[in-house]
Structure 1
Amino acid sequence: MFTFIDLFAGIGGFHHALSGAGGQCVFVSEIDEQAKRIYEQNWGDHVTPREGRPLLEGDIIPLTDPEVQHIPDHDVLAAGFPCQPFSKSGFQRGINETRGTLFFNIAKILEAKRPRVIILENVRNLAGPRHRETWSTIIRTLRDLGYKVSDTPTVFSPHLLPPELGGTPQIRDRVFIVGTHVGRERAWAEADSTPTLERKPVDGWNPSMWDLDTHVLLDESEVPSTGPHRLSAEEIRWIDVWDDFVTTLLEVRDGTPLPGFPIWADEFRDVPAITSSTPKWKADFLRKNSEFYVEHRDAIDTWLARHGGLAGFPPSRRKLEWQAQDAPSLWATAMHFRPSGIRAKKPTYLPAMVAITQTSIIGPRRRRITVREGARLQGLPDTFSFEGQPQSASFKQLGNGVSAGVVGFILRESGALELLAEQTQAGAA
């Protein structure tokens, strides 16, 4: 058995992976009170209590004074440290933003406790071009602390793993940093650029083989008849109208799939509305929409007239992002209601769950995914409970979470679990 600590723990994706690999949790830190309650509700019986301290700690900052006095010794440090400083949805100030410096709170723990293995997770953008300095600072800091880590980020997604290895049908690219403690001199001497895992399907797996019905979706008899997963009459109308567009245009085009560029109903015109100040990317879409309209004018005008020119549709529902290739109908796709429009994809693997309301709609089921199905996408067991909170909070927590299956696979592939087992056996001897 090895011991681990779970920092920025959320609802326990790391806990599920590490305890499943034989680990014992000896310390948890999570600042969000709702997430703490769900964590304790599910994993509380599997966290080693400490006399005079709460079972789950809150803010990590007061715990990382020079002596890190409240944190027990451990073999593995796991942390999904805050991603807002690096996320595309934020200001991308990185390590210069206050929250970005929380990495250095992790570094203080590493300096004091020297766990044998670390596994850190963050959004893919952490390794993007705007954060090269941040990435280099993190890697340099870890090597100075004696951890052997790769210069090249490990970026991986659960949809690239077959189900028997922990994969799930969700595109969720995340950066993982796995390191083993070998001492500063060796960490720098053995520095290389080999990622722990390449971003490609594993063991010949073809992601197009994912099937939501088999791997994620509940039987409809298990789905509540009411709740946020049910579509409103207005949402059904939006889909029905655009489904009429899809089927009409497919018939006119003799089955040729719709184009992949964003289709903007307000830009169906003979001459695109382009001025000297129009950004190049937008001008390109405007031209394409105009050309598409001119080519199919009669069918599009008839469709618009049939639906009152989309009267009452908000701007974001007057757009269609067709990424479903040869799907025969909008209701045959997986959809997202996005600020940029209704995005449609083939119903194999789903886009990443996020911490805002963009829950996937499963067209053939005519509903959104449920919280239980969202938990399956994150590799959590069906016994996992969100009892006592609204579904919006549960989806927020899932959107902020880590894929448990990917964590387990990366630990196995990196050799970290084998190292822990060897050192445990050597200590016992």
Structure 2
Amino acid sequence: MTPNYYSIAQVADILGVSKETLRRWDNNGTLVPEKRGEDNNYRQYHRSQLDRFEQAQLLFNSNWDEEKNITPKRDYGLVELFAGAGGLAIGLDKAGFKSIVHNEIDKHACNTLRKNRPDWKVVEGDITNVDFTPYHGQVDIVSGGFPCQAFSYAGKKLGFEDTRGTMFFEFARAVKETNPKIFIAENVRGLLNHESGQTLEAIKNVIDELGYELVEPRVLKAIFYQVPQKRERLILVGIRKDLADYVEFKWPSPYKRIMTMRDALKKGDLYPEDVPESAGQNYPARKAEILANVPEGGYWRDLPDDLQREYMKKSYFLGGGKTGMARRLAWDEPSLTLTCAPAQKQTERCHPEETRPLTVREYARIQTFPDSWEFTGPLTAQYKQIGNAVPVNLAHAIGRSLIRLLNDIEAINEQSTVIDTLISEPPKPVETEQLAMAL
């Protein structure tokens, strides 16, 4: 059930604005929270105040529950590239896709995939050495998150051959060699404006050249898809041109509320039990002493001035907020975007109440991996695998939309088959007497 009241932090996440912006809106009367509680110091926004914002309308009028029931009409074959530790793969698997092959270069990530899904075919190694032609005609969808690279051809209209040497070229080659009905590629938000938009323009040119219609790319915020983390991913969906005119891709509806660190680590709607214990990194003694002074949800500016200077060193005198430094997460807010190293000074992710980095299983829960999904390799490799992954629940939501798209394509194919049968085998003429009797 959708709550009626929302905190300042929740509204900031829903509307995609900062808390400072909400405070300005409060001061100038644009959006004023209600005073609640016995002392009137607890301020919240009523749902009715948010109805005029498009982002809130999408949340309040979501079709999430209906979309949960989307299932495939038949087995849809999946080829995944740059598979990593399986965030995207698990989500697509939960949606109903059937794995044909997964390619990944990192040995630890490959071992993780094999350990958890021994029935999956995992091809370990450089994608440039993988031939995808044996899968031609067997594949319904190609998926993957190719690393974003500059193409170094500023101002030119790049085609397929011009992108050689980039990982996008390899993604495009796999699509060309397998000829799937659709593809999905995910990337960082920065790809939108990479090299002043020329990188994305080159990608669009190649997709067109390959014979696919690109759905207008969209940045999806993970917090809207049952993920307790402020992570954003750029999603590209392509539909083969012989099918594109007959179907429409519909983006997934958001979940009914924003998940928080409490949802991630405690028993509740997201997980049936508290997060299990697991290995994790530790802070050096002096760092732990300093971070112990940071309040829940705070960062380096919440430290006493002498500790600010000690912790920040020369950065203390530089401009900018540097809000990731000495950052402690908050129970009732989503996590900041996870990085590949939870104790890195520039992107601190300290536990909400204990003075330590997040453990491996805590990391995995924030990315919505199942507790049963085991990670292999040294501790640093496990953090890297989790930090690089697509959140599983985000992938699952997108996967359901892709299943719906393929179901629509399947319905068109079925209809075409019926029409072709009628044309090739027209009904026999009915005798006059039979027709009269029938009438």
Structure-1 residue corresponding to 2:232 = 173
- Asked if 1:60 corresponds to 2:98, the answer is no
Do the aligned residues in 2 keep the contact of 1:157 with 1:171 (CA within 8 Å)? yes
Alpha-carbon distance, 1:59 to partner: 0.9
Do the aligned residues in 1 keep the contact of 2:280 with 2:358 (CA within 8 Å)? no
Alpha-carbon distance, 1:109 to partner: 2.3
Do the aligned residues in 1 keep the contact of 2:95 with 2:400 (CA within 8 Å)? no
Seq. identity, %? 24
> What do residues 23-47 of structure 1 show as CA deviations (whole Å, max 9, x unaligned)?
2211121111121111111123233
Structure-1 residue corresponding to 2:422 = none
Alpha-carbon distance, 1:231 to partner: 4.1
Structure-2 residue corresponding to 1:287 = none
Corresponding residue SS for 1:81: coil
**Aligned equivalent of 2:277, options 223, 231, 235:** 223
- Asked if 1:390 corresponds to 2:378, the answer is yes
- Asked if 1:213 corresponds to 2:262, the answer is yes
Task: Report how many aligned residue pairs link the two structures.
Answer: 324
Structure-2 residue corresponding to 1:236 = 288
Distance 1:129 1:384, change over 3 A: closer
Distance 2:368 2:383 in 1: 14
Distance 1:405 1:118 in 2: 19
Give the TM-score of the pair, scaled to structure 1: 0.63
Distance 2:336 2:361 in 1: 17
Distance 1:359 1:425 in 2: 53
Moved segments of 4+, more than 6 Å: 95-100, 218-221, 319-323, 423-429
Distance 1:172 1:30, change over 3 A: same
- Asked if 1:17 corresponds to 2:81, the answer is no
- Structure 1 stretches lacking a partner, 5+ long: 48-54, 87-94, 162-166, 247-256, 266-302, 324-335
**Aligned equivalent of 2:390, options 382, 402, 411:** 402
Corresponding residue SS for 1:104: helix
Alpha-carbon distance, 1:176 to partner: 0.7
Aligned-pair Cα RMSD in Å: 4.2
Alpha-carbon distance, 1:202 to partner: 2.3
Give the TM-score of the pair, scaled to structure 2: 0.62
Alpha-carbon distance, 1:78 to partner: 0.6
**Aligned equivalent of 2:173, options 82, 93, 108:** 108
Distance 1:359 1:382, change over 3 A: farther
Do the aligned residues in 2 keep the contact of 1:2 with 1:420 (CA within 8 Å)? no
Structure-1 residue corresponding to 2:182 = 117
Distance 1:221 1:177 in 2: 33
Do the aligned residues in 1 keep the contact of 2:82 with 2:103 (CA within 8 Å)? yes
Distance 1:38 1:202 in 2: 30
Do the aligned residues in 1 keep the contact of 2:214 with 2:237 (CA within 8 Å)? yes
Do the aligned residues in 1 keep the contact of 2:78 with 2:98 (CA within 8 Å)? yes
Do the aligned residues in 1 keep the contact of 2:301 with 2:308 (CA within 8 Å)? no
Distance 1:427 1:375, change over 3 A: farther
- Asked if 1:36 corresponds to 2:103, the answer is no
Distance 1:427 1:40 in 2: 40
Corresponding residue SS for 1:411: helix
Distance 1:70 1:31, change over 3 A: farther
Distance 1:232 1:137, change over 3 A: same
Distance 2:246 2:414 in 1: 25
Do the aligned residues in 2 keep the contact of 1:82 with 1:99 (CA within 8 Å)? no
Distance 2:224 2:319 in 1: 24
Do the aligned residues in 2 keep the contact of 1:8 with 1:31 (CA within 8 Å)? yes
Distance 1:337 1:116 in 2: 43
Do the aligned residues in 1 keep the contact of 2:207 with 2:214 (CA within 8 Å)? yes
- Asked if 1:315 corresponds to 2:313, the answer is yes
Distance 1:364 1:85 in 2: 42
Do the aligned residues in 2 keep the contact of 1:316 with 1:342 (CA within 8 Å)? no
